[in-house]
Amino acid sequence: MSEPQQFDVVVIGAGPAGYHAAIRAAQLGLKVACIDAALGKDGKPALGGTCLRVGCIPSKALLDSSRQFWNMGHLFGDHGISFKDAKIDVGAMVGRKDKIVKQFTGGIAMLFKANKVTPFYGFATLHPDRTVKVKQHDGSEVELAGSNVILAAGSDSIELPFAKFDGETIVDNVGALDFTEVPKRLAVIGAGVIGLELGSVWKRLGAEVTVLEALPDFLAAADAEVAKTAAKEFRKQGLDIKLGAKVSKAEVTGKGKKKEVAVTFADKDGEQTITVDKLLVAVGRRAASKGLLAEGTGVKLNERGQIEVDEHCHTGVDGVWAIGDCVRGPMLAHKGFEEGIAVAELIAGLPGHVNFDTIPWVIYTEPEIAWVGRTEQQLKEEGVPYKTGSFPFAAIGRAVAMGEPAGFVKVIAHAETDRVLGLHLVGVGVSELVHEGVLAMEFKGSADDLARICHAHPTLSEAIHDAAMAVDKRAIHKAN
Ligand code: FAD
Ligand code: NAD
């Protein structure tokens, strides 16, 4: 093999974390290579990682298609709109999703070109002394050497030993984004983010959906009142959510179109078996590190298989960094974005930093769920004194005019300083509204600041205004 090609920064993985790191490093004048092994549905290299290929973007495309379809049957009538024979063409819907994916994965290739990031397409392994060997898709091998190497290998779906993915009947997110028809009966293991989002997609299109969650609490990480409201709304939509359900078996029977899967679980009603056409397993993801590290790199994995890093995403090995889903912290694209930028800036000698306290969470169901900061449960555990103010969307003119009155906003502030500690929302459009809380917290704002900022009328954001006023019992549009 010829001499290794030399770069200032070699990034392994072109997902949200990796492509942000690569582009930012290139903007800062560094010579950058970025390697990714993934292929798109057309068998061609596709940059952008899980997020663009089989995660954030395709799931939101299907959520939006299915929401339009659901609204035809459940919202349009109230607006006086009628129609005959609404039908969903699943092929066309999935085709639209694929087109969006292609546009955005291709967009990363264009951004690399514009920023002079050199892409390599193949599987990369880190060797000692920051040498990276890439097995390219054509079978050839190239060797790169980086003054810095950033590991951004992402994550893979966790498989259950008794429910192995077959890509057809028992699937993870990849399969559930590509069903060719609406399954009559769908079971989902795991009432987490993927289970709820993709369960909602197929429910809205007509599937009978049963969600089996092992824990006794629904969405334990969310504010308890938000979780309760969301659960009530999802059940109203017909999602059958079974909590405390321990699944023990999934058996596929039949052939071709007649394939079905018998799922056995035990809950408070004892052991039961349900038979469904498709089973989505969404029980979490684990860091992807298989084949990434050759012997002797010195990079350590923790007991969860994540690459060990300090608060600056440094692995402890000179010039080797790791970011995104393959390290600790929430598995969110925007967390990866921020780590990618921060590490590129640190490499360039700038003060890169990620504030984990203000990373927003969003679940793109209907109603949407979003939060930033601490929940009441967490503050109680930490012994932090706090006060809250809530406001329902049912009293917000804009939400009612839209026919979307479900949900509420809750502001949590420190009992003594009034500083905003958390913003919790469930309702229409809250994926956008949550950033008002992010901003308030980043600027160390108080509930009084939020209450005194002029909010346009009529907008959904008025729910935050009134909730902030309710913290000191001075909301105008409800009894305090
Ligand atoms: P990834 O996106 O996983 O990218 C890693 C890349 O590295 C991959 O392309 C992989 O092929 C490549 N790679 C790995 N190892 C090697 C190697 N050795 N050599 C070469 N290439 C390699 N997050 C949100 O914030 N919002 C959402 O709405 C959202 N929706 C989601 C929906 C679904 C269905 C799923 C599955 C995830 C969703 N996520 C969402 C999570 C989000 O996709 C991830 O947090 C994000 O993609 C992580 O980015 P990353 O760059 O760390 O890793
Ligand atoms: P998750 O951690 O959100 O949810 C997994 C759920 O499965 C949990 O509620 C867990 O208690 C349950 N579970 C685990 N083992 C089980 C078992 N054997 N039987 C029944 N239930 C079981 O994981 P996910 O939904 O797979 O998503 C993975 C990650 O992807 C998430 O952590 C999230 O960070 C990311 N993601 C984010 C978004 C978003 O931001 N909107 C969307 C999708 C995915």
Ligand 1: which atom is nearest the Cα of residue 157? 36
Q: What DSSP string runs through 166-179?
A: -SSSEE-HHHHT--
CA 3/CA 231 separation, integer angstroms: 59
Which pLDDT value is given to residue 257? 83
E strands within 13-129? Answer: 32-36, 117-127
Ligand 1: which atom is nearest the Cα of residue 14? 6
* pLDDT beyond 70 at 8: yes
Q: Is the CB of 202 under 6 A from ligand 2?
A: no
CA 416 – ligand 2 centroid, Å: 36
* pLDDT beyond 70 at 268: yes
Confidence band, pLDDT 50/70/90 cuts, at residue 480: confident
CA 192 – ligand 2 centroid, Å: 4
Do 259 and 168 form a contact (C-beta atoms < 8 A)? yes
Q: Is the CB of 216 under 6 A from ligand 2?
A: no
CA 197 – ligand 1 centroid, Å: 17
Which pLDDT value is given to residue 256? 86
Verify cis geometry, omega within 30 degrees of 0, for the bond prior to 216. no
Q: Is the CB of 195 under 6 A from ligand 2?
A: yes
Which residues partner with 208 through β-bridges?
Answer: 185
Question: For residue 192, how many other CB atoms are within 10 A of its CB?
Answer: 20
CA 153/CA 378 separation, integer angstroms: 31
* pLDDT beyond 80 at 287: yes
* pLDDT beyond 90 at 310: yes
HSE at residue 448, side-chain half, CA atoms within 13 A, is 7
Domain covering 170-283 in this structure, CATH number = 3.50.50.60
Question: For residue 295, how many other CB atoms are within 10 A of its CB?
Answer: 6
Q: Take residue 61 and report the two structure tokens written for it.
A: 């495309």
Verify cis geometry, omega within 30 degrees of 0, for the bond prior to 161. no
The pLDDT of 129-155, averaged and rounded, is 98
Which sequence positions are flagged as catalytic? 457
pLDDT tens digits for range 374-415? 999 999 999 999 999 999 999 999 999 999 999 999 999 999
Which pLDDT value is given to residue 1? 58
Q: Which fold has domain 5-156+286-354?
A: FAD/NAD(P)-binding domain (3.50.50)
Q: For the chain, what are the domain ranges?
A: 5-156+286-354, 170-283, 359-471
Which pLDDT value is given to residue 223? 97
Task: Give the contacts of 366 (CB within 8 A, at least 6 positions apart).
Answer: 67, 70, 200, 204, 233, 237, 428
Give the closest residue to 376 by CA, choosing from 407, 416, 421. 421
* Closest ligand (CA of 191): 2
pLDDT tens digits for range 339-366? 999 999 999 999 999 999 999 999 999 9
Q: Does domain 359-471 have CATH number 3.40.50.1820?
A: no
Identify the residue whose C-alpha is closest to ligand 1 atom 34: 55
Q: Could you tell me whether strands 170-171 and 155-157 are parallel, antiparallel, or unpaired per DSSP bridges?
A: unpaired
Q: Is the CB of 193 under 6 A from ligand 2?
A: yes
* pLDDT beyond 80 at 369: yes
Which pLDDT value is given to residue 269? 95
In the chain, helix, strand, coil percent, each to 5?
35, 30, 35
Annotated binding-site residue? 197: yes
Q: Is the CB of 212 under 6 A from ligand 2?
A: yes
Ligand 2 mutation pick, 285, 328, 337, 363, max ligand atoms within 8 A of CB: 285
Q: What DSSP string runs through 239-269?
A: -EEESS-EEEEEEEES-GGG-EEEEEEEETT
Identical fold between 170-283 and 359-471? no
pTM over 0.75: yes
CA 300/CA 319 separation, integer angstroms: 14
The pLDDT of 413-425, averaged and rounded, is 98
The pLDDT of 217-238, averaged and rounded, is 97
Task: Give the contacts of 134 (CB within 8 A, at least 6 positions apart).
Answer: 35, 120, 122, 123, 124, 141, 142, 143, 144
